[in-house]
């Protein structure tokens, strides 16, 4: 099973991640502190249905300022447009140069000891060449072959931004990308000729007007707090709980500047920043069941991270919760209503909706196993082709808004101005009064919509994919927290059940895994069932219908919960909360997308109240526990 998971990782890396980054953030997200100079604003008029866009330009710069990076990109773009062709293959119809300058401060501490403390700067480039035309081109096709050279169309470039060195890198990468695209187009056309009915959907959407958005470079600030000391103090809390096997805390601070230049005229230089604290601990119950818990906090800047006393309070809480789980009873098999508290509901929606809110069609594939792997990862959309049909209760509205910055005083981390393809992000109403109205779109068209609405998101230089930014679920007849609990108890009593279940938090293997390989092992346990709705709750309470008292239980696993279960939810709360999380770029638009971390994830937010869902099947543990250590743990105080 582990080999199977690793094969999936390798396949998806080939499919969607031309460049893997240690730290990867969304394009046009939170603006970091920049060079100390005023910035003037230029307005680009609206064009068609695209609203006007304000463009920030540093003083002393024209609308296309000539820093060495932009100069090198423009010079090679001009040469490529004029000379990149052969008599046999012709000219490309689209070229894009993408470059990312990323600086990362990362500190990891384990049980009060610093394990790793680094500050790195790296620059990556990616060249995309499209052969053919907007209807049929060299993209959106998965094959086992393709032109493979020794240089490639993506890679690391010098951090000094040397003009001549970058031009050399771009020249070689463009040549490679051109040959790859020509080879892939030929293979794709041969595959299309073998089909009885080739697809009629375009491969690439046109844009109404190219965006030019030039902003100051990201300027990192690592010095405002003693981050090493804070990480050390935070992880030392775990030492007070001798039953915990391990406890780790990682601080991330990330600043990046993203460049995009296309042959259509799009030109971006956009800074962004993010920061995170991720902590995890693990232990075993006396019967051998592995247990873990985690804490995460995400902010748009390092200054937004909580103070050390708040962090230690949260770590104390998860440590105490793990101690309680060790002595908690295992949950019995269950089939009935489940109440998901707002934080659990946010994670659940991220898992259920990621595939269905994407309107892009999947790539064509001549590789036989692609369809099977994509289905196993829960990548099939249940909402494609259902515009105008009811998909949620009639009281519910669902929308995604990349321009939103906060909700009820809590910051949202999925905010951006333009997406990774240079399209201005738009608020998209997905569901209105239960009826499906829209989908998230990149420049890859789909069966329902043919143009981008600015949701082509990417971590680092990964392939832009329609993805959640700030997702909001609202109901016009929401119930209070007390009324939601009472509704749950009423349903349980009417069904003759002595108890029912409340999920307060869902699991995230990417955060819970402390040691190398644990994430793969956790995913291996889910891979066979995720397409059928297997989910992993983390904190579950059993609530008794006789007197309403709650009891912590462990070992629950949800079976068969899909987006279709949301259509007839029993009730929706009236107190939304913000759930900030990182999407995993290796699993974009699949059920696994919700399992990401700050070390390479895509910042996203879900704002939702509690959700009461009927007829949820939950299985308790059925053997397979691990043996306890033969020798007791050494003292850690």
Instruction: Read off φ and ψ for residue 12, nearest 5 degrees.
Output: -70, -35
Cα gap 366→601, rounded to integer Å? 29
- Please name every residue paired with 250 in a beta bridge, in sequence order, or none if there are none: 108, 278
Cβ contact 555:330 at 8 Å: yes
| pTM, full prediction | 0.89
The pLDDT value recorded for residue 17 is 42
Q: How many CB atoms lie within 10 A of CB 80?
A: 23
The pLDDT value recorded for residue 29 is 56
The pLDDT value recorded for residue 44 is 41
The token pair that represents 143 in the structure block: 């094959």
Binning pLDDT at 50, 70 and 90, where does residue 522 land? low
Instruction: Read off φ and ψ for residue 362, nearest 5 degrees.
Output: -65, 160
pLDDT at 153 over 80: yes
H or E element: which one contains 612?
Answer: strand 611-619
Cα gap 217→199, rounded to integer Å? 42
pLDDT at 24 over 90: no
268-296 pLDDT per residue, tens: 999 999 999 999 999 999 999 999 999 99
Residue 341 C-beta-side C-alpha neighbours within 13 Å: 13
43-52: average pLDDT: 39
The pLDDT value recorded for residue 379 is 67
The span from the first CA to the last CA of the chain, in angstroms, equals: 39
Please report the beta strands in 370-496, taking only residues with DSSP state E, as ranges in sequence order.
396-400, 406-407, 410-411, 428-432, 435-436, 456-457, 465-466, 470-475
Strands 141-142 and 364-365: parallel
The token pair that represents 199 in the structure block: 């697809």
Cα gap 196→40, rounded to integer Å? 56
Rank 142-151, 510-519, 591-600, 624-633 by mean pLDDT and report only the highest: 591-600
The pLDDT value recorded for residue 623 is 73
pLDDT at 66 over 80: no
Closest-CA residue to 205 (of 127, 125, 140): 140
The pLDDT value recorded for residue 528 is 59
82-95 pLDDT per residue, tens: 999 999 999 999 99
Angle between helices 368-376 and 2-16 (to 10 degrees): 110
| Residue 461 or 528, more confident | 461
56-66: average pLDDT: 42
Rank 151-160, 172-181, 192-201 by mean pLDDT and report only the highest: 172-181
The pLDDT value recorded for residue 30 is 58
The pLDDT value recorded for residue 46 is 43
pLDDT at 2 over 70: no
Cβ contact 304:59 at 8 Å: no
pLDDT at 151 over 90: no
Query: Can you spell out the DSSP letters for 96-139?
Result: EEEEEEEEEEEEEEETTEEEEEEEEEEEEEEEEEE-B-SSSBS-
Q: What is the DSSP letter of 140?
A: S
pLDDT at 14 over 50: no
Cα gap 385→382, rounded to integer Å? 8
CB under 8 Å to 111, separation ≥6 — which residues?
A: 235, 236, 238, 239, 246, 247, 248, 636
Closest-CA residue to 459 (of 64, 17, 114): 17
The pLDDT value recorded for residue 634 is 79
Residue 529 C-beta-side C-alpha neighbours within 13 Å: 15
pLDDT at 16 over 80: no
The token pair that represents 9 in the structure block: 């990782």
The pLDDT value recorded for residue 357 is 96
Binning pLDDT at 50, 70 and 90, where does residue 538 land? very high
129-157: average pLDDT: 78
In order of 259, 391, 497, 628, the CA distances from 569 in angstroms are 44, 11, 19, 41
Closest-CA residue to 98 (of 380, 606, 359, 459): 459
Write a three-state SS string for 251-312: EEEEEEEEEEEECCCCEEEEEEEEEEEEEEEEEECCCCCEEEEEEEEEECCHHHCCCHHHHH
pLDDT at 456 over 60: yes
The pLDDT value recorded for residue 165 is 96
Cα gap 197→189, rounded to integer Å? 13
Q: What is the DSSP letter of 573?
A: B
Cβ contact 231:250 at 8 Å: yes
Give CA 612 to chain center in angstroms: 25
Closest-CA residue to 361 (of 468, 208, 204): 204
In order of 59, 259, 330, 469, the CA distances from 416 in angstroms are 23, 15, 43, 8
pLDDT at 31 over 80: no
pLDDT at 132 over 90: yes
| Residue 154 or 8, more confident | 154
546-566: average pLDDT: 94
Write a three-state SS string for 305-364: CCCHHHHHHHHHHHHHHHHHHHHCCECCCEEEEEEECHHHHHHHHHHHHCCCCECCCCCE
387-432 pLDDT per residue, tens: 999 999 999 999 999 999 999 999 999 999 999 999 999 999 999 9
Residue ranges per structural domain of the chain:
31-45+53-105+114-223+260-269, 334-619
| Averaged pLDDT score across all residues of the chain | 87
Cα torsion 415, 421, 424, 427: sign:
negative
Q: Is 218 left (phi over 0), alpha (psi -120 to 50) or beta?
A: beta
In the chain, % of residues over pLDDT 90: 72
Binning pLDDT at 50, 70 and 90, where does residue 613 land? very high
Burial of 172 (0-12, 13-18, 19+ CB in 10 A): middle
pLDDT at 561 over 60: yes
Give CA 527 to chain center in angstroms: 18
| Residue 14 or 158, more confident | 158
In the chain, % of residues over pLDDT 70: 83
pLDDT at 449 over 70: yes
Cβ contact 459:21 at 8 Å: yes
pLDDT at 15 over 60: no
Cα gap 23→30, rounded to integer Å? 15
């Amino acid at each position: 099973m582990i080999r199977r998971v690793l094969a999936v990782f390798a396949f998806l890396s080939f499919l969607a991640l031309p460049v893997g980054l240690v730290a990867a953030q969304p394009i046009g997200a939170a603006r970091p502190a920049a060079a100390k100079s005023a910035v003037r604003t230029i307005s680009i008029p609206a064009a068609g249905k695209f609203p006007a866009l304000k463009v920030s330009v540093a003083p002393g710069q024209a609308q296309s300022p000539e820093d060495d990076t932009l100069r090198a990109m423009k010079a090679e773009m001009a040469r490529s447009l004029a000379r990149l062709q052969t008599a046999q293959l012709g000219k490309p119809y689209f070229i894009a140069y993408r470059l990312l300058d990323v600086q990362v401060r990362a500190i990891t501490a384990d049980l009060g000891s610093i394990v790793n403390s680094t500050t790195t700067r790296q620059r990556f480039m990616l060249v995309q060449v499209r052969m053919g035309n907007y209807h049929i081109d060299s993209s959106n096709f998965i094959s086992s072959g393709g032109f493979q050279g020794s240089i490639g169309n993506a890679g690391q470039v010098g951090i000094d931004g040397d003009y001549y060195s970058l031009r050399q890198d771009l020249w070689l990468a463009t040549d490679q990308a051109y040959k790859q695209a020509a080879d892939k187009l030929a293979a794709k056309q041969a595959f299309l000729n073998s089909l009885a009915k080739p697809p009629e959907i375009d491969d690439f959407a046109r844009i109404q007007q190219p965006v030019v958005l030039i902003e100051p470079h990201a300027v990192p600030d690592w010095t405002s707090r003693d981050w090493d000391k804070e990480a050390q103090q935070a992880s030392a809390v775990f030492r007070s709980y001798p039953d915990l096997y391990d406890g780790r805390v990682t601080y991330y601070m990330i600043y990046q500047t993203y460049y995009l230049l296309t042959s259509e005229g799009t030109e971006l230089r956009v800074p962004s920043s993010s920061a995170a604290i991720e902590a995890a601990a693990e232990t075993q119950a006396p019967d051998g069941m592995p247990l873990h818990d985690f804490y995460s906090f995400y902010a748009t800047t390092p200054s937004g991270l909580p103070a050390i006393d708040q962090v230690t309070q949260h770590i104390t809480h998860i440590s105490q919760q793990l101690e309680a789980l060790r002595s908690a009873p295992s949950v019995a098999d269950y089939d009935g209503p489940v109440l998901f508290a707002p934080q659990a509901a946010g994670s659940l929606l991220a898992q259920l909706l990621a595939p269905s809110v994407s309107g892009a069609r999947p790539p064509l594939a001549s590789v036989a196993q692609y369809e099977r792997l994509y289905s196993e990862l829960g990548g099939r959309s249940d909402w494609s082709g259902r515009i105008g049909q009811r998909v949620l209760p009639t009281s519910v509205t669902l929308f995604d808004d990349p321009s939103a910055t906060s909700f009820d005083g809590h910051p949202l981390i999925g905010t951006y101005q333009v997406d990774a393809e240079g399209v201005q992000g738009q608020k998209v109403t997905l569901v209105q009064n239960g009826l499906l109205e829209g989908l998230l779109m990149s420049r890859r068209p789909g069966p329902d919509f043919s143009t981008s609405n600015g949701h082509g998101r990417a971590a680092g230089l990964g392939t832009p994919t329609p993805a959640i930014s700030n997702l909001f679920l609202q109901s016009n007849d929401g119930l209070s927290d007390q009324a939601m609990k009472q509704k749950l108890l009423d349903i349980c009593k009417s069904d003759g059940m002595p108890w029912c279940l409340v999920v307060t938090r869902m699991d995230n293997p990417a955060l819970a895994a402390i040691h190398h390989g644990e994430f793969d092992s956790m995913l291996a346990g889910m891979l066979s069932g995720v397409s059928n709705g297997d989910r992993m709750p983390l904190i579950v309470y059993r609530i008794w219908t006789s007197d309403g008292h709650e009891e912590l239980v462990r070992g629950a696993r949800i079976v068969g919960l899909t987006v279709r279960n949301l259509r007839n939810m029993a009730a929706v709360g009236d107190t939304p909360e913000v759930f900030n999380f990182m999407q995993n770029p290796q699993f974009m638009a699949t059920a696994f997308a919700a399992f990401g971390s700050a070390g390479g994830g895509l910042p996203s937010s879900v704002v939702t109240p509690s959700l009461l869902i009927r007829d949820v099947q939950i299985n308790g543990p059925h053997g397979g526990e691990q043996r306890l250590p033969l020798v007791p743990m050494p003292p850690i105080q």
